[in-house]
Amino acid sequence: MILSTFIARVADGLPLVASMQEDEQIGRSLSEYQKQAKLLFSKMNQSSPPKLSIATEPYIFHYIIQDGVCFLALCEKSFKMNLAFQYLEDIQQEFASKYGRRVATVSRPYPFIEFDTYLSKAKKTYVDSRQRRHLTGIKSELHDVQRIMVQNIDDVMQRGIAISDLDEKASNLVYNSEKYKRDAKNLNLRSRNAKIAAVTSIVVTFLIYLRFWWFI
């Protein structure tokens, strides 16, 4: 289930749209998650990862950044990640077509609050079980979510990690993994060459032994 949607300008964190759905099953007030969303926006910049998931127990934030605007959704963890990102891409395209040229010129918070009408309709489409099955069958193959990094909200908030740093850490992790694979491959190659050299040496020694011992 998609609980809330937030849209903000990345350059300064200015909130453009917010759509929240109160739910009796939510342990904490949604206003707390709204505060977390604002803090996340304040830590973003042009170097932030274009896609990211951030766990905030018992829910999870998913976001995409496109054309200097961040589209962020608070979802239940059971809600499929590929559908969450499809939802974000759908609302991004609609938002860009309506307000894309005006984003850089606005100065007051929530100037496009009327976009909430579209968000409400879009959320219903993705939450409805029949519509969701239809979307899964048609669009799930279009979205590779396996490489999207999932970060814990505490790491971002309490430790003061800028979101732009997460992309660098993920890149370093991939680089170190590839380096380990290369080192392991080289080690195996050297080990195999050493074994071949040892066997060759034994064979040559044996042939020399036969030559000089049996044919004297």
- 165-210 pLDDT, tens digit per residue, is 655 554 554 445 555 566 656 666 666 666 666 667 666 665 665 5
Q: Give the whole-angstrom CA distance, residue 8 versus residue 38.
A: 9
pLDDT at 76 over 50: yes
- pTM higher than 0.75: no
More confident residue, 196 or 51: 51
pLDDT at 1 over 60: yes
Q: Give the whole-angstrom CA distance, residue 101 versus residue 56.
A: 33
Q: For residue 185, what pLDDT is reported?
A: 66
Q: For residue 80, what pLDDT is reported?
A: 87
Q: Give the whole-angstrom CA distance, residue 193 versus residue 120.
A: 65
pLDDT tens profile 85-134: 999 999 999 999 999 999 999 999 999 999 999 998 898 888 775 455 55
Q: Read off the pLDDT of each residue in 56-69 and give the average, rounded to a whole number.
A: 92
Q: Give the whole-angstrom CA distance, residue 178 versus residue 78.
A: 32
pLDDT at 136 over 60: no
Q: Give the whole-angstrom CA distance, residue 81 versus residue 75.
A: 9
